[in-house]
A = this chain, B = another copy of it.
Amino acid sequence: MTLPAVLDFVGVSVFAVSGALAAGRKQLDLLGVVVLALVTAIGGGTIRDVLLDRNPIFWLANGSYILVIAASALLTVAYARWRRPPRSALLVADALGLALFSITGAQIAERTGLPPVSCVVLGTITGSAGGIVRDVLSAEIPLVLKRGNLYATAAIAGTATYVALEGLSVPRPIPSFAGMAVIAGVRLAAILWGLQLPVFELDSSAEKR
């Protein structure tokens, strides 16, 4: 198996865990849990493949993805019945999924010969789309839009790091791992220490003047 294929499987598993944990907060039934895990796990890669017109979509031709996702979701449920997962488990699983999918999205875009800025945007979409679909279906405001969590920021910083190091011909797989480290690091720093970017607040910024 190639590195992107392995990362796809790992990314799919951690997003499945994050989908199952989100489902647990919504009190879905067991198949509902599997469905939310599936949508979360295949959402980003599916949008990547559709936008790049890659055919077939990664999980359609190879049934293993769906089985890995269903197994990850059910193991999450089984674990949660035995021991309470910490509140932070959803955020950590989501951060790892974001890191893995953003970089694989940027890798595939780069290999297609797209310009650097498109690689950054496509990587960010690949990484965040699954979580966005999970949050929209759970009727939550998407994490990516919640203030002060550096979600899109992390994905953009990490994929830009990856694209820059590749452009400098840094030997592989250093650019990939550096990019993932930036993404996971920025996200976890935002979660742990409350780092944030300046906020664009339309009404109050206007009232100050």
Contacts and interface: CB of A to CB of B under 8 A. Distances in A.
Interface of A: 20-21, 23-36, 38, 46, 50-53, 55-57, 59-63, 66-67, 77, 80-85, 109, 114-118, 121-122, 124, 132, 136-139, 141-142, 144-145, 147-148, 150-153, 156, 196-203, 205-206, 209
Given A60-B51, A137-B142, A145-B36, A29 B199 contact: yes
Given A27-B199, A30-B197, A32-B144, 20 more contacts: A21-B202, A24-B201, A25-B202, A27-B201, A29-B150, A29-B198, A32-B145, A32-B151, A32-B152, A32-B197, A34-B152, A35-B124, A46-B51, A52-B56, A53-B53, A61-B114, A62-B115, A77-B200, A80-B202, A139-B141
B209 A84 contact: yes
A105 to B, nearest CB: 12
Count the copies: 3
17 contacts: A26-B147, A27-B199, A27-B200, A29-B198, A29-B199, A30-B198, A30-B199, A32-B151, A32-B153, A34-B152, A35-B145, A35-B152, A60-B118, A61-B114, A85-B202, A132-B137, A136-B136
